[in-house]
Amino acid sequence: MSEVAHADVVILGGGIAGAGAAYEIAKTRSVILLERESVCGYHATGRSAASFTENYGTGLVRRLALGSRPFLASPPAGFCEHPLLSPRGMLTIARADQMERLDAELARARLLVPSIVPVSIDDALARVPVLRRDYLAGAILEPHSMDIDVDALQNGFLRGARAAGARIVTRAQVRGIACRNGEWQVETPAGLFAAPVMVDAAGAWADEVAQMAGIAPLGLQPLRRTAFNIPAPVGHSIAHWPLVNDVGEEFYVKVAGGQLMVSPADATPSKPMDAWADDMDVAIGAERLERATHLTVTRVSHSWAGLRTFAADRSPVVGFDPRAEGFFWLAGQGGYGIKTSSSLSRIAAALIGGQDLPDDLQRLGISASDLSPARFAPAPQVSSPSTTRGAA
Ligand SMILES: Cc1cc2nc3c(=O)[nH]c(=O)nc-3n(C[C@H](O)[C@H](O)[C@H](O)COP(=O)(O)OP(=O)(O)OC[C@H]3O[C@@H](n4cnc5c(N)ncnc54)[C@H](O)[C@@H]3O)c2cc1C
C-alpha cells in the first residue's frame, strides 16, 4: 500500500487561485498543492489579458479588486524582481446607440472609483489615434487601470508558498477523492495525499472535482474567450495606449509585448477543457476592431482561448461547503481571477483559519456570506454522521 503524505490543507489546482491560496495559507499551516499539468498556470491563468481594472464585474468583484490593489502595487520585499503593476489606463468607448449604457457605466463606476471620468472625442483620439472619429459618440477613462505581470505574480505566490514549507506537486491529476478517518484522501499519479481541509481551486473543473468528492456541483459555467495578437501598426508609438474596451463588451484591444492583443470578448459556453481559439471568433474580433479603428488585420501572429468560469450570480465562490465538512470552494473567478487574487487568497486563509475577514476587506463592505457557497448549496436541515462528509 503506498504511503500517504499528510498536511493541514491540500489544494487542488495550481492556477492563480491555488497558488495565491497556498501562499497565504502556508504562513500558518502545512500545505500540499496538487496540479495536473507539468507547470502551474497553464490554463485560464496563463491566458488572461493581464488587466487590473476596478471598473469591471459585479459590485463585489470591484471591491475585491480594490482590496487587491495594495498588495499588487506594493508586494512584500523579495516577492518579485520587478513591479507587478505598470500603468495602462482603460478607455471605454461607445457608439451613438450605446450612449445610455456608457452613462450608466460611468455612474456605477464612480460610486467606487471617483477618478473615472468622461473624456472628449478629441481626447480619446489623442490617446489612441487609430480610433475612428465617426464611430465614437462617447468615452470614459479609468486612469489608474494597470497591466499585471501575471507570471511574476503567480511565481511570487508559488515561491513564497514553498519558502513557507508548502509542497507544490505537478503532474498530479486528482483522479479519486475519498473521505477517511476525518481526512480527505486524494489519489493522483504522483501519490496519495490527505488533509482535513481540501481546497477546490480547479478552475473550470471545480464542479467536476466536487463531484469526485461526492458533492453536488454548484452549476459553475466555463465560458470560452478568444484572444489574438496582431503586429503593432506601422508609424504609431503604441506603448502608452490605454486598453480600449467597448462598453457593450463587443471587443477590446490592448498593448501586449509590443503587439496589440485583440479579443471579440466572446463568452461561449464550454465544457471544462484545454480551450483553443475558433477561427470564426478570431474573424469576428478582427471585423469589430476594423469597424472601430483605422486598423486592418492582415496577419495574426498568435491566437488562443481560455475558459472564464462563472457562478450563476457572476461573483466568486469562496468558503466551506455547508454540506461537507472540510471541503472549501475557491472557484468561479470568471474574468477577474488575477486582479482579485490577493483579496480572495487572504479571505480563503482567514476562513480556513476560523478567523474574520481581514479588516481592510471588511471596510470595503465585503462579507463572507456574499462569497459563500451556501448561496447555491444551502446547509442540510438535519445533519447526521453519514451526511457530514462528502454527501451531496
Ligand atoms: C482571455 C481571458 C482574459 C482574461 N483577462 C483577465 C484579466 O485581464 N484580469 C483578470 O483578473 N482576469 C482575467 N481573466 C480571468 C482569469 O484568467 C481567471 O479568472 C483566473 O485565471 C482563474 O484562475 P484559477 O486558478 O481559478 O483557474 P486556472 O488557471 O484554470 O487553474 C485551475 C487549475 O486546476 C488544475 N486542475 C483542474 N482539474 C484538476 C485535477 N483533477 N487535478 C489537479 N489539478 C487540476 C488545472 O490544470 C489548472 O491549472 C481572463 C481569462 C481569459 C480566458
User: What's the structural domain count of the chain?
Assistant: 2
Question: What is the average pLDDT across 230-241?
Answer: 96
Output the 3-class SS for 6-41.
ECCEEEECCCHHHHHHHHHHCCCCCEEEECCCCCCC
Is residue 385 predicted with pLDDT exceeding 90? no
Query: Running DSSP on this structure, what letter comes out for residue 379?
Result: P
Q: What is the DSSP string of 293-325?
A: BS-------EEEEEEEEE-TTSS-EEEE-TTST
Question: What is the average pLDDT across 83-99?
Answer: 98
Mark which of 307, 334, 357 sits at the end of a domain: 307
Residues 139 and 228 occupy one common structural domain: yes
Is residue 290 predicted with pLDDT exceeding 70? yes
- Indicate whether 75 belongs to any domain: no
Q: 262: domain range? A: 90-143+224-307
Residues 166 and 123 occupy one common structural domain: no
- Using CA atoms, how far apart are residues 302 and 178, in angstroms rounded to an integer? 42
Residue 382 vs residue 350, higher pLDDT: 350
User: Does the C-beta of 20 come closer than 6 Å to ligand 1?
Assistant: no
Kindly list the strands in the beta sheet with 183-188, ordered across the sheet, starting from the edge strand earlier in the chain.
4-6, 191-195, 183-188, 176-180
d(CA 279, ligand 1 centre) in Å: 22
In the chain, the percentage of residues whose pLDDT exceeds 90 is 95
Residues 189 and 231 occupy one common structural domain: no
Residues 175 and 236 occupy one common structural domain: no
**Quick one: pLDDT at residue 139?**
98
User: Does the C-beta of 63 come closer than 6 Å to ligand 1?
Assistant: no
Residues 214 and 234 occupy one common structural domain: no
**Quick one: pLDDT at residue 2?**
73
User: Does the C-beta of 12 come closer than 6 Å to ligand 1?
Assistant: yes
What cell does 30 get?
Answer: 502545512
CATH number of the domain to which 303 belongs: 3.30.9.10
pLDDT band at 378 (very low <50, low <70, confident <90, very high): confident
CATH number of the domain to which 157 belongs: 3.50.50.60
Residue in this structure with the C-alpha cell 492563480, named with its chain if needed: 16
pLDDT band at 254 (very low <50, low <70, confident <90, very high): very high
pLDDT band at 380 (very low <50, low <70, confident <90, very high): low
d(CA 43, ligand 1 centre) in Å: 5
Residue in this structure with the C-alpha cell 465538512, named with its chain if needed: 325
d(CA 332, ligand 1 centre) in Å: 10
Residues 124 and 261 occupy one common structural domain: yes
pLDDT band at 381 (very low <50, low <70, confident <90, very high): low
What cell does 138 get?
Answer: 462617447
**Quick one: pLDDT at residue 187?**
98
Residues 288 and 323 occupy one common structural domain: no
- Indicate whether 83 belongs to any domain: no
Residues 278 and 378 occupy one common structural domain: no
Query: Running DSSP on this structure, what letter comes out for residue 342?
Result: H
Residues 234 and 209 occupy one common structural domain: no
pLDDT in tens, 163-212: 999 999 999 999 999 999 899 999 999 999 999 999 999 999 999 999 99
- Indicate whether 59 belongs to any domain: no
- Using CA atoms, how far apart are residues 338 and 147, in angstroms rounded to an integer? 11
* Biggest alpha carbon–alpha carbon distance for the chain: 72
Residues 6+ apart with CB under 8 A from 36: 171, 172, 173, 174
- Using CA atoms, how far apart are residues 336 and 73, in angstroms rounded to an integer? 17
- Using CA atoms, how far apart are residues 124 and 26, in angstroms rounded to an integer? 46
pLDDT band at 383 (very low <50, low <70, confident <90, very high): very low
pLDDT in tens, 5-26: 999 999 999 999 999 999 999 9
pLDDT, the chain, mean: 95
Residues 243 and 373 occupy one common structural domain: no
- Indicate whether 236 belongs to any domain: yes
- Using CA atoms, how far apart are residues 51 and 88, in angstroms rounded to an integer? 9
- Indicate whether 60 belongs to any domain: no
Is residue 387 predicted with pLDDT exceeding 60? no
- Indicate whether 81 belongs to any domain: no
Mark which of 272, 307, 342 sits at the end of a domain: 307
User: Does the C-beta of 332 come closer than 6 Å to ligand 1?
Assistant: no
Residues 303 and 326 occupy one common structural domain: no
Question: What is the average pLDDT across 354-377?
Answer: 97
Residues 275 and 324 occupy one common structural domain: no
Mark which of 278, 307, 336 sits at the end of a domain: 307
Residue type, 251: F
pLDDT in tens, 315-338: 999 999 999 999 999 999 999 999
User: Does the C-beta of 17 come closer than 6 Å to ligand 1?
Assistant: yes
Residue type, 151: D
User: Does the C-beta of 318 come closer than 6 Å to ligand 1?
Assistant: no
pLDDT band at 391 (very low <50, low <70, confident <90, very high): very low
**Quick one: pLDDT at residue 112?**
96
pLDDT band at 377 (very low <50, low <70, confident <90, very high): confident
d(CA 101, ligand 1 centre) in Å: 29
Question: What is the average pLDDT across 255-268?
Answer: 97
- Indicate whether 74 belongs to any domain: no
**Quick one: pLDDT at residue 84?**
98
- Indicate whether 210 belongs to any domain: yes
3-class secondary-structure state, position 49: coil
Nearest alpha carbon, ligand 1 atom 22:
337
**CA-wise closest residue to 315 among 392, 220, 381:** 220
Specify the DSSP element, H or E, that contains 225. Answer: strand 221-230
Residues 6+ apart with CB under 8 A from 230: 259, 260, 262, 295, 297, 299, 300, 301
CB 287 within 8 A of CB 261: no
CB 68 within 8 A of CB 360: no
CB 376 within 8 A of CB 312: yes
Is residue 264 predicted with pLDDT exceeding 80? yes
pLDDT in tens, 292-319: 999 999 999 999 999 999 999 999 999 9
Is residue 347 predicted with pLDDT exceeding 90? yes
